[in-house]
């Protein structure tokens, strides 16, 4: 068994946030005594990533995803537990570590706004001390893979969001990092651009064997890239395993899609009607009832077509988070 690239043990992060009520009295009181409250952003999480693995890190807003990525990239110091990435404790931020990892934040940019992309890349070349040959060949490859030819000489401010994100990726992997932390890398991008970024991540992973930990709100990203997902909610890990297993574990329901032809009667007796559009109807039924309901449907109604499906992963995850929140 090779050494894991990322090993996280009981990692925790608590923030102290000031508490102040509304109004003048509360404002005055806060002058004398600052009250603080502890918020546990991440609570004793543990997981490992093997070298070369691409893992989706899922959770609703505020679940602790970004906090975890920031700890693993060395920006935040944990309040408990340990992490080892490529043999380094990330928050020591030693140069040997920083040269081997990268963090891409979909909502932030590292490229300088007012100068051409190539100048920002050139700065990174100098900062990472890349040799001319290595730089040129990596750059050529990135220009090809991300289709940057037209963009590279333009100032960043003149690029669209999608174009900028492609250039951000080029800047982020110019030094050929072995570990990539990607925080919402496709946020706000159109479908075509999302696909482009996705296929870039896939080919970078394939050609370099880099380890990737990725957060995204778009399940399409996760389905395309990750066999394994880690689901985090309120700072704790709810699930860590194969993407397919997530649906098995959390979905107590199946979806039955039927084509009823001209029949227009009531379906409520068979299950929860999710949608009904012309002759097509979608029913949601408890998993264990699926064979029985399917049998009844086929026996009772003039069915033209019938399929049984797992619900979309988005729905499963949404349900998991909602149920957790309701508890």
Partner 1 sequence: MSGLRYFAALYGTLTRTGIALQIQYRAANVIWMLGGIIEPVIYLVVWSTVAREQGGSADGWTPADFAAYYVTLMFVNHLTFAWVMHVFQFRIQQGELSFALLRPIHPIHSDIADNLGFKLVMLVVLIPAALVVAWTFEPRWNTGLAETLAFVPALILAFSVRFLTEWSLALAAFWTTRVTAVNNVYFTALIFLSGRVAPIDMLPGWLQTVSASLPFYWMVAFPVEVMLGRVPPGELAAGFATQLAWIAAALGMLSLVWTRAVRRFGAVGG
Is residue 299 a contact partner of residue 292, using CB atoms and an 8 Å limit?
no
Q: Which is nearer to partner 1, 125 or 253 (CB)?
A: 125
Which of 106-114, 210-218, 257-265, 314-322 is the region at the interface with partner 1 (rule: CB under 8 A)? 106-114
Q: Which is nearer to partner 1, 15 or 218 (CB)?
A: 15
Instruction: Name, in order, each residue with C-beta under 8 angstroms of 126's C-beta and a sequence gap of 6 or more.
Output: none
Which of 30-38, 54-62, 91-99, 246-254 is the region at the interface with partner 1 (rule: CB under 8 A)? 91-99
Q: Which of residues 150-169 bind partner 1 (CB under 8 A)?
A: 155
Torsions phi, psi for 279 (to 5 deg): -85, -10
Torsions phi, psi for 81 (to 5 deg): 85, -175
Which of 44-52, 67-75, 232-240, 251-259 is the region at the interface with partner 1 (rule: CB under 8 A)? 67-75
Considering the rule CB under 8 A, would residue 76 count as an interface residue with partner 1? yes
Which of 46-54, 93-101, 266-274, 286-294 is the region at the interface with partner 1 (rule: CB under 8 A)? 93-101
CB atoms within 10 A of CB 291: 12
Nearest distance in Å: CB 218, partner 1 = 22
Which of 115-123, 158-166, 197-205, 268-276 is the region at the interface with partner 1 (rule: CB under 8 A)? 115-123
Sort 107 into a burial class: Cβ within 10 Å, 0-12 / 13-18 / 19+.
exposed
Considering the rule CB under 8 A, would residue 284 count as an interface residue with partner 1? no
Is residue 50 a contact partner of residue 57, using CB atoms and an 8 Å limit?
no
Considering the rule CB under 8 A, would residue 263 count as an interface residue with partner 1? no
Per CB under 8 A, the list member of 11, 103, 225, 316 interacting with partner 1 is 103
Considering the rule CB under 8 A, would residue 10 count as an interface residue with partner 1? no
Q: Which is nearer to partner 1, 93 or 280 (CB)?
A: 93
Nearest distance in Å: CB 243, partner 1 = 29
Q: d(Cα 315, Cα 299) in Å, to the nearest integer?
A: 29
Nearest distance in Å: CB 178, partner 1 = 14
Q: Which tokens sit at 109? A: 């940019």
Ranges of H-type helices in 147-190:
161-173
Nearest distance in Å: CB 99, partner 1 = 5
Q: What is the DSSP letter of 237?
A: E
Per CB under 8 A, the list member of 26, 34, 35, 77 interacting with partner 1 is 77
CB atoms within 10 A of CB 268: 9
Three-state DSSP class for 41?
Answer: strand
Considering the rule CB under 8 A, would residue 187 count as an interface residue with partner 1? no
* CA triple 253-184-164, angle to 5 deg: 140
Beta strands 35-50 and 179-183: pairing type? unpaired
Can you list the positions of beta strands (E) in 185-293?
Answer: 211-215, 228-233, 236-242, 253-259, 272-277, 280-286
Considering the rule CB under 8 A, would residue 129 count as an interface residue with partner 1? yes
Q: List interacting residues with partner 1 (CB under 8 A).
A: 15-16, 67, 70, 73-77, 91, 93, 95, 98-99, 101-103, 105, 108, 110, 112, 114-116, 119-120, 122-129, 131, 155
């Amino acid at each position: 068994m090779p050494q894991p690239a990322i090993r996280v043990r009981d990692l925790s992060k608590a923030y102290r946030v000031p508490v102040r009520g509304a109004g003048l009295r509360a404002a005055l009181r806060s002058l004398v005594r600052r009250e603080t409250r502890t918020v546990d952003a991440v609570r004793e999480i543990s997981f490992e990533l093997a070298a070369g693995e691409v893992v989706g890190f899922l959770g609703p807003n505020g679940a602790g995803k970004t906090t975890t990525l920031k700890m693993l990239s060395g920006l935040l110091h944990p309040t408990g537990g340990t992490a080892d990435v490529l043999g380094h404790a990330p928050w020591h931020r030693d140069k040997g570590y920083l040269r081997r990892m990268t963090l891409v934040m979909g909502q932030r940019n590292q490229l300088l706004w007012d100068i051409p992309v190539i100048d920002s890349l050139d700065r990174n070349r100098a900062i990472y001390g890349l040799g001319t040959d290595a730089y040129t060949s990596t750059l050529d490859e990135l220009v090809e893979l991300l289709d940057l030819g037209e963009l590279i000489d333009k100032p960043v401010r003149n690029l669209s969001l999608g174009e900028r994100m492609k250039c951000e990726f080029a800047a982020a992997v110019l030094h050929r990092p072995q570990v990539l932390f990607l925080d919402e890398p496709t946020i706000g991008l159109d479908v075509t651009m999302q696909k482009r970024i996705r296929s870039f991540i896939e080919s970078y992973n394939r050609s370099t064997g880099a380890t990737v930990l990725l957060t995204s709100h778009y399940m399409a990203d996760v389905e395309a890239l990750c066999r394994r997902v880690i689901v985090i909610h309120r700072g704790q890990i709810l699930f860590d395993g194969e993407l397919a297993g997530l649906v098995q574990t959390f979905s107590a329901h199946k979806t039955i899609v039927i084509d009823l032809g001209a029949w227009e009667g009531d379906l409520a007796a068979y299950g929860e009607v999710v949608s009904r559009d012309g002759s097509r109807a979608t029913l949601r039924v408890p998993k264990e009832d699926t064979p029985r309901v399917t049998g009844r449907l086929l026996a009772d109604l003039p069915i033209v077509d019938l399929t049984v499906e797992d619900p979309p992963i988005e729905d499963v995850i949404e349900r998991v988070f909602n149920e957790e929140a309701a508890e």
